[in-house]
Amino acid sequence: MDVKTAIKSRKDAFFTAYDIKDETLIQKIDDLFARIEEFGKTCSDYMDFETKFAQSPLNQEYIAMFTEVATKTTSKLQPVQDNPNAETDEEYYAREAADDLRYAAKEATQPLRHQAYMAGTEALRSNKVGNALFNLNNHLETANHFRKLAKENKEKAKAAKEDEK
């Protein structure tokens, strides 16, 4: 997915889910998305856009616009009446916004977490006992791999014998 498609799908979501006839509201949506499109031009790709957009004030405006549209217009979607636990639109968008923020925070901290992991591994390997543990672990993994291969070969041979009968 590219940045333009991501922005268009967000805008289309308004008109797919809600019957928006108020010209003032339509103009507000158009104005917001004109700014989001300008913001999107500063991003290198889809993931860059999603990460930056989740942290941008434009994301909060987008969520607020959905709340405004939900309260001022009628939904085109059929309400779920049989499920009392169904989320309201506001709950859904709040959860989605929180998910976006969690994802952006995870992506933003990933290089630091990797550096910390590598520093810890390097510190452990520089120690004789730690290095011995790494070597032991590698030998155990290799032995387990060969044990698994031997078991699979034995099962294949057994199945081949049974097929011959």
The token duo for 78 is 């059929």
Domain locations in the chain? 3-122, 127-165
Cβ–Cβ under 8 Å, residues 3 and 58: no
Angstrom distance (rounded) from CA 101 to CA 107: 10
Q: What confidence category does residue 26 fall into, taking pLDDT thresholds of 50, 70 and 90?
A: very high
Angstrom distance (rounded) from CA 131 to CA 163: 48
pLDDT value for 150: 92
Q: What confidence category does residue 81 fall into, taking pLDDT thresholds of 50, 70 and 90?
A: low
pLDDT tens track for 138-162: 899 999 999 999 999 999 988 888 8
Q: What confidence category does residue 111 fall into, taking pLDDT thresholds of 50, 70 and 90?
A: confident
Residue 80 pLDDT greater than 60, yes or no = no
Q: What confidence category does residue 27 fall into, taking pLDDT thresholds of 50, 70 and 90?
A: very high
Give whole-number Cα distances, 105 to 50, 52, 140, in Å: 12, 10, 36
> Angle at CA 2, nearest 5°, toward 41 and 100?
85
Task: Enter the pTM of the model.
Answer: 0.49
